[in-house]
Amino acid sequence: MSGINMIVCCKQVPDPEAPPSLFKVDTAANKMVTASDVKPVISQYDEFALEAALRIKDKMGGKITVLSLGNKLVRDVIKKSLAVGGDELILLEDEAFEESDSWSTAYALAAAIKKIGEYDLIFCGRQSSDWDAGQVGIGIAEILGIPAVTLARKVEVADGKTNIERVIPDGYEILEIAPPVVITVTSELGTLRYPALKGIMAAGKKQPIVYKPADIGLEPGQVGAAGRHTEISKLFQPVKEAKCEIIEGETPEEAGVNLATRLREAKLL
Amino acid sequence: MAENKGILVYGELTNGQLATITTELLGCGRKLADNLNEELSCLLASDMIGEASKEAIAFGADKVYTIEEPSLKQYQASSYIQIVEKLVKDISPRAILFGQTAIGRDLAPHLAFRLGVSLATDCLGLSIDPDTKLLLQTRSVYGGNAQATFVSKLVPHIATVRPKAMPPLEHDDSRKGEVIPTKIEIDMSQVKAKVVETVKEEISGIKLEDAPAIVTGGRGIGGAEPFNTTLKELADALHGAVGATRPPADNGWVPEAIHIGLTGKIVAPDIYIAVALSGASQHIAGCSGAKHIVAINKDPEANIFKEAEFGVVGKYEEVVPALTKKLKEILAS
Ligand SMILES: Cc1cc2nc3c(=O)[nH]c(=O)nc-3n(C[C@H](O)[C@H](O)[C@H](O)COP(=O)(O)OP(=O)(O)OC[C@H]3O[C@@H](n4cnc5c(N)ncnc54)[C@H](O)[C@@H]3O)c2cc1C
Ligand SMILES: Nc1ncnc2c1ncn2[C@@H]1O[C@H](COP(=O)(O)O)[C@@H](O)[C@H]1O
d(CA A225, CA A210) in angstroms, rounded, equals 19
Residues in contact with B317: Cβ distance below 8 Å, sequence separation at least 6, in sequence order: B226, B230
- pLDDT of residue A221 exceeding 80, the answer is yes
- Residues B212, B65: Cα–Cα separation, whole Å: 35
- The vertex-A98 CA angle with A92 and A102, nearest 5°, equals 85
Write out chain B residues lying below 8 Å of A268, CB-based: 270-271, 292, 294
- Whether A234 and chain B come into contact, CB under 8 Å, resolves to yes
| Separation CA B234–CA B65 (nearest Å) | 45
Whether the model clears a pTM of 0.90, i.e. scores above it, the answer is yes
Task: Report the alpha-carbon distance of residue B9 to residue B23 in Å, rounded.
Answer: 10
CA-wise closest residue to B167 among B212, B139, B125, B206: B125
Best residue in A107, A247, A250 for a mutation probing chain B (most B CBs within 10 Å):
A247
- Closest to A253 (Cβ–Cβ): which among B78, B257, B318? B318
Q: For ligand 1, which residues put their CB under 6 angstroms from it?
A: A 16-17, 44, 127, 129, 132; B 143, 218-220, 245-247, 259, 261-264, 276-278, 280, 282-283, 286, 297-299, 302, 315-317
Q: Which of B129, B131, B141, B320 should be substituted to probe chain A, the one whose Cβ sees the most A Cβ atoms within 10 Å?
A: B141
A33 interface with B at CB cutoff 8 Å: no
> Contact, A227 vs A219, CB < 8 A?
no
Query: Which of A121, A124, A258, A263 should one mutate to test binding to chain B, selecting the residue with the greatest count of B CBs within 10 A?
Result: A263
Q: What is the reported pLDDT for A3?
A: 87
Tens of pLDDT, residue by residue over A34-86, are 999 999 999 999 999 999 999 999 999 999 999 999 999 999 999 999 999 99
> CA-to-CA distance for B107 and B88, rounded, in angstroms?
13
A253 alpha carbon – ligand 1 mean position (Å): 24
Across the interface, whether the CB atoms of A187 and B250 are under 8 A apart is answered yes
Q: What is the 3-state secondary structure (H, E, C) of chain B?
A: CCCCCCEEEEECEECCEECHHHHHHHHHHHHHHHHHCCCEEEEEEECCCCCHHHHHHHCCCCEEEEEECHHHCCCCHHHHHHHHHHHHHHHCCCEEEEECCHHHHHHHHHHHHHHCCCEEEEEEEEEECCCCCCEEEEEEEHHHCEEEEEECCCCCEEEEECCCCCCCCCCCCCCCCEEEECCCCCCHHHCCCEEEEEEECCCCCCCHHHCCEEEEECHHHCCCHHHHCHHHHHHHHCCCEEEECHHHHHCCCCCHHHEECCCCECCCCCEEEEECCCCCHHHHCCCCCCCEEEEEECCCCCCHHHHCCEEEECCHHHHHHHHHHHHHHHHHC
Inter-CA distances, B295 with A23, A214, B273, Å = 23, 53, 6
Mean pLDDT of all residues belonging to chain A: 96
Task: Note if the bond before A180 is cis, omega within 30 degrees.
Answer: yes
* Subunit contact B294:A263, Cβ cutoff 8 A: yes
Measured from the CA of B248, which atom of ligand 1 is nearest? 26
pLDDT at B21: 98
Instruction: State mean pLDDT over A167-182.
Output: 96
* Tens digits of residue pLDDT in A123-155: 999 999 999 999 999 999 999 999 999 999 999
Q: Check CB contact under 8 Å for B310 and A130.
A: no
Burial B175-199 (b: 16+ CB within 10 A, else e): bebebeebeeebeeeebbbeeeeee
How far does chain B reach from its first CA to its final CA, in angstroms?
Answer: 69
* Residues of chain A positioned with their CB less than 8 A from the CB of B319: 252-253, 255-256, 259
The complex's ipTM works out to: 0.97
Distance CA B4, CA B273 (A): 46
Instruction: Report how far residue B81's alpha carbon sits from residue B8's, in angstroms, rounded to the nearest whole number.
Output: 15
Q: How many CB atoms lie within 10 A of CB A253?
A: 18
Residue B112 to residue A129, Cβ atoms within 8 A: no
Q: What pLDDT score was predicted for residue A234?
A: 96
The preferred substitution site among B227, B263, B305, B316 for testing ligand 1, maximizing ligand atoms within 8 Å of CB, is B263
Q: Would you call A252 and B295 a contact, using CB atoms and an 8 Å cutoff? A: no
Given a cut of 60, whether residue A2 has pLDDT beyond it is no
Confidence of residue A1 (pLDDT cuts 50, 70, 90): very low
The CB density around residue B328, as the number of other CB atoms within 10 Å, is: 16
Q: Please return the burial class of A109, using the count of CB atoms within 10 Å of its CB with bins 0-12, 13-18 and 19+.
A: buried
Write phi, then psi, for B108 (nearest 5 degrees): -60, -45
On whether the CB atoms of residues A125 and A137 are closer than 8 A, the answer is yes
Q: Do A132 and B120 touch (CB under 8 A)?
A: no
Q: Where are the alpha helices (DSSP H) in A168-234?
A: 197-205
Mean pLDDT of successive 10-residue stretches along chain B, which has 333 residues: 88 95 98 98 96 98 97 93 98 98 98 98 98 97 96 98 96 97 95 95 86 98 98 97 98 96 97 98 96 98 96 98 98 91
Count contacts between A and B (CB, < 8 Å): 243
Between CA B108 and CA B12 the distance in angstroms is 13
Residue ranges lining ligand 2, Cβ < 6 Å: A 9-11, 43, 45-46, 49, 67-70, 102, 105, 124-125, 127-128, 131, 133-137
